[in-house]
Amino acid sequence: MRANGAMRTFSDALTKQSTGLPAVALVLVEAHLWGRIVPGSAGTRFEAHAVGPAGGDVIVVTGEPALRALLDGRISWNAAVAAGLVVVDGPPGDSERIARALAEQFS
């Protein structure tokens, strides 16, 4: 799975069990690759190769190896955060909602 595919899979996992979440900008630091997960009236869409975050986005910063480990179930969300492999930042409240949804999905 290429980096873009991993980001899309992450987007699908985040939105599969959670509704009403804010927009998320995901960056893979080694590749300087941004993607955005954007909710809308027709459902959530993934924007590959985004320029960066939009105003108000929750930002998830990670690396491709950590993202793949999360997707493969080799590391839990809480362990990845504790090890500094993933950082979530953004507007108060929204960033906590995203972190909780991700902890649920990748426990």
Domains and CATH numbers, the chain: 3-105 (3.30.1050.10)
Token pair 């595919």 is at which residue? 5
Give, in order, the Cα–Cα distances in Å from 14 to each of 29, 93, 97, 103, 107: 20, 17, 11, 10, 12
| Tens digits of residue pLDDT in 22-78 | 999 999 999 999 999 998 887 889 999 999 999 999 999 999 999 999 999 999 999
pTM over 0.85: yes
pLDDT exceeds 90 at position 102: yes
Q: How confident is the model at residue 98 (pLDDT cuts 50, 70, 90)?
A: very high
Residue 90 has pLDDT above 60, yes or no: yes
**Residue 69 near residue 47, CB atoms below 8 Å:** no
% of the chain at pLDDT higher than 90: 79
Mean pLDDT, the chain, rounded, equals 93
- Binned at pLDDT 50, 70 and 90, residue 18 comes out as low
Token pair, residue 67, equals: 């993202």
pLDDT(10) > 70: yes
